[in-house]
Structure 1
């Protein structure tokens, strides 16, 4: 997930981190950034959309039909392809 957060614009990233990592309220973020609450919500929505889209792509790649996963067996500790 953090790879996608790093790819956000500076404003999107700062609003995302202040809201979800620092757990600040919109009024507190407004004071920190000088942006209006409406603008904060727009930046946060864009950031969430980009992160969710990126995670969805990873999910599709990982769980696509026919993908072979390496699995360690208990008997010998070696990886087998399924």
Structure 2
């Protein structure tokens, strides 16, 4: 089990990215959150089995036909044991 902080930049706001991330993460059984940042980036905090985290990242990088990811950074962070679902934040 791992938890990642992922920051995406590019055309990632106003293109359904948060919902796309939410549905994909929920389908994979991952927990965490996704939110837009004021600088135009999207922040994802996600937790689960490593193979499912890899699958999520692969799907997000392929996109939904509208978004464009120019760059992303990924950092492993401490687990949040009480987290039970994936949510979209403001």
TM-score by structure 2 length? Answer: 0.32
Q: Which has the higher relative contact order, 1 or 2, with Cα contacts under 8 A spaced 6 or more apart?
A: 2
Relative to its length, the structure with more helix (as a share) is 1
Relative to its length, the structure with more strand (as a share) is 2
Bigger radius of gyration: 1
TM-score by structure 1 length? Answer: 0.35
